[in-house]
Chains A and B, each alone.
Chain A
Amino acid sequence: MLTIRNLRSYYGRMQALKGVSLHVKEGEIVALIGTNGAGKTTLLNSIVGLVSSITGQIIFLNADITHQSPREIIRMGVSLVPEGRQLFAPLTVMENLTLGAYQRYRRKEKSKIKSDLDTIFERFPVLKERQSQVAGTLSGGEQQMLAIGRALMSGPKFLLLDEPSMGLAPLIAGQIFQIISQLHRQGTTILLVEQNAAAAFKISNRTYVIETGRVVLQGASEELLHNREVKRAYLGREYKEVWE
């Protein structure tokens, strides 16, 4: 579904990605883990066209989207749930959701949008309850659900999730991961960026480990769990064993 070759992204003279290649197949959930500043968010932003200074190749559904506008990329079926949710805080839940589908109103998909909205309310009953509440007053978990719901309103084939568990209590984070798993089971292809590596490994098929803008490990998530380097760096276990 998505194939990236040698992606290099720059913020001015600073190079954030140094030749990243990766792929996501239809129906897969692929995790991207790494420390702060490794380039995970840059990678997602580059895919959706938010980083303008990039080289390399990004191919989505056999079309080269490397230098397309975010608007065009979203129209093709890519949707991003950004880091820190980025909701429109003063607007209501309903207004946020409606905005998620803003490109589709022009395409006269009103009845389809309505049915998508119903599906989202089914999945997140709490959003239905609070549809007229201002987004900024929701709890962290509810905000994350709203962010996911808003992304789903564009009717995506491919969902990018940037640290969906960030700042959430473990119990709530667990719920969010369950929702992601459900979305995946129902056929959405997902690229997931996470700091919570243990959870990311658990729900993903494959994982890429990214370090200072480069991929250093990749493989089946189950396998990477056995990589002790990954365990130490990202799962926080075994640190007592470092004795040299």
Chain B
Amino acid sequence: MAIWNSHFECMTKDELEQLQLERLQATLNRVYRSVAFYRKLFDQMGLVPDEINSLDELSRIPFTGKTTLRAGYPYGMFAVPLREVVRLQCTSGTTGEPIGVGYTRNDLTHWTEVSARVLCAGGVTKNDVVQICFDYSLFGGGLGFHYGAELIGASVIPGSNLDPARQVVIARDYRTTALIATPGFAIRLAAVVREKGLGPADIHLKRGLFTGEPFSERTRKQIEDELNIKATDNYGLSEIAWPGVAGECEKKKGLHIFEDQFIPEIIDPRTKEVLPLGEEGELVLTTITKEAFPLIRYRTGDITALDASPCGCGRTLIRMKKVAGRTDEMVTINGVSFFPSQIEHIFSQIWGVEPRSCLEIDRRGNQDIVNILVKVSEKIFFDEMKKLQDLKSKVEREIYQDLGISVKVKLVEPDSFARETKGKRVIDKRESS
């Protein structure tokens, strides 16, 4: 199994930590000098970047959130003048206002490098014909993979946003060996392959790298079986690098985070405390090589856990688990999209307080079923049963009127609430059923 950059991907812990410290300190000095938001933030905290003497002290700095980046749209968070920026992209804005992102020439070099690392970890070599089924647009993705694959020296097909039927024809004609797509798109391709009655003699795919959507083990199995390929996961985000924050190697034991460029932390999204290694929480990233758009402790909103145990592939980089969900999770029920926070808001309006709740989503036939588990203390449970029942149906009615979905509210005691929800706001059983 090849490693694209064994210097940076196989460093000893000491080497890596020294490099991270140097790059972190330089980044902090630069953002303090050049980004008004960070200068103000540090000044408010009475913090001088010089005071950060170790990687642990990173936690003294406040987080950067999506709201800040949106407020800075389009150029407010840039650390270099626009004339040094050679590429502009933005996030898609599906969950709100878009975020503008810029890259200097060096940023593009680094991005291309990490993209090549992702592809190499997934098994892509210069002998592959790589078909990239991501939109080549303002939103990253396609371009990121494209440059990485070219750097490796593979033959690259910019499939972009062509429909599945045409992608399959291209894959057949050009004998594509590596597929880059969302997991959902891969499943649609597999369906087209079946419909067209194509067999292994027609489709030469050997491997696929998937990202951009939740990618469960079940989906992986389905894609691997239907397309007869090895499927690996990778992770990135348009605000930082997509693709290129982390990539799964062929051991499929988690995604290696490129720690020479990004420092990962896992926090409890509610308390914002940094969690011990191995615990599940929200991924927070600090970029330490970015010139144009450096981010300090950026809350990704993605839920995962870190694993520092050695990997059989030889990389010493820490691994993150497949993303388990999002903190600001948008949920789609029978075609209606909403955020759990909207439900919580309705609770707080009717109940006067916002109870701990969790959405349990399942599918019966073609219908999505939603139960809202609400944590109630035993005291209330016995004393005010009647009143609670009224509140319960009131909430159910209100949610139906407000969001157009029917839900069942279930009152749950603290113990079983903790057992059933495991701290999550949303449990989606549709994927695993």
Residues of chain A touching chain B, judged by Cβ–Cβ distance below 8 Å, are 3, 5-6, 18-19, 21-23, 208, 211, 214-219, 223-224, 226-229, 241, 244
Assuming A216-B29, A217-B30, A228-B83, is B50 touching A19 (CB within 8 A)? yes
* Given A6-B53, A23-B18, A219-B106: A228 touches B84 (CB 8 Å cut-off): yes
B7 to chain A, nearest CB (A): 10
Given A216-B30, A244-B81, 12 additional A-B pairs, CB 8 A = A19-B51, A19-B52, A21-B25, A22-B22, A23-B19, A217-B26, A218-B23, A219-B106, A219-B289, A226-B104, A226-B105, A229-B80
Chain A contacts of B83 at CB under 8 A? 228, 241
Q: How far is the CA of A226 from the CA of B26 in the complex (A)?
A: 17
How extensive is the interface on chain B, given as a class?
20 to 34
Name which residue of chain A comes closest to B49, CB basis. A214
Neighbouring A residues of B22 by C-beta, 8 Å: 21-23, 208, 215, 218
Assess whether B33 is interfacial by the CB under 8 Å rule: yes
Q: Can you identify 16 A-B contacts, CB atoms within 8 angstroms? A: A6-B53, A18-B50, A19-B52, A19-B53, A23-B19, A23-B22, A211-B29, A215-B29, A216-B29, A216-B30, A216-B33, A217-B26, A217-B30, A219-B106, A223-B106, A226-B109
Q: Which residues of B contact A244 (CB under 8 A)?
A: 81
- B239 at the A/B interface (Cβ < 8 Å)? no
The residues of B that contact A241 with a CB separation of less than 8 Å are: 83
CA A145 – CA B23 in complex, angstroms?
35
Cα distance, A23 to B33, chains bound together (Å)? 24
Interface residues of B in 76-120 (CB under 8 A from A): 80-81, 83-84, 104-106, 109
Residues of A within 8 A of B52 (CB): 19
* Chain B residues within an 8 Å CB radius of A5: 18, 21, 53
- CB-defined contacts of B26 to chain A, threshold 8 Å: 214-218
| Nearest Cβ on chain A to B147's Cβ, whole angstroms | 15
Residue of B whose beta carbon sits closest to that of A59: B18
- How would residues 2 to 31 of chain B score, 1 for a CB under 8 Å from any chain A CB and 0 otherwise? 000000000000000011011101100110
**Contact assessment for A227 and B106 in the assembled complex, using a CB-CB cutoff below 8 Å:** yes
Q: What residues of B have a CB within 8 angstroms of the CB of A22 in the complex?
A: 22
Residues on A with beta carbons closer than 8 Å to the beta carbon of B25: 19, 21, 214-215
Interface assignment of B259: CB less than 8 Å from any CB of chain A:
no
The residue of chain A having its C-beta at the shortest distance from the C-beta of B22 within the complex is A21
Nearest-neighbor residue (CB-CB) of A8 within chain B: B50
Q: Does B396 contact A (CB under 8 A)?
A: no
Q: How far is the CA of A219 from the CA of B18 in the complex (A)?
A: 13
Residues of A within 8 A of B302 (CB): none
A6 to B52, CA, bound (A): 9
Residue of A at shortest CB range from B51?
Answer: A19
Task: A2 to B21: give the CA distance in the assembly, Å.
Answer: 15
Contact B21 A21 (CB under 8 A): yes
Q: Given contacts A18-B50, A19-B25, A215-B22, are A229 and B33 in contact (CB under 8 A)?
A: no
Tell me whether B282 is interfacial, beta carbon within 8 Å: no
Contact pick for B84, options A214, A215, A224, A229, CB 8 Å: A229
- Confirm or deny: B233 has a beta carbon within 8 angstroms of a beta carbon on chain A: no
A14 CB to closest chain B CB (Å) equals 15
The list of the 4 closest CB pairs from A to B, nearest first, reads A19-B50, A6-B53, A18-B50, A214-B29
Please report the C-alpha to C-alpha distance between residue A22 and residue B24 in the assembled complex, in whole angstroms.
11
Question: A227 to B81, alpha carbons, bound, how many Å?
Answer: 12
Asked if B265 is at the interface (CB within 8 A of a chain A CB), the reply is no
Q: Min CB distance, B79 to chain A, in Å?
A: 10
**Chain B neighbourhood of A229, CB < 8 A:** 80, 84
The closest CB in chain A to the CB of B80 belongs to A229
Q: Considering the chains assembled together, what is the distance between the CA atoms of A101 and B54 in angstroms?
A: 39
| Neighbouring A residues of B49 by C-beta, 8 Å | 214
A226 partner residues in chain B, CB cutoff 8 A: 104-106, 109
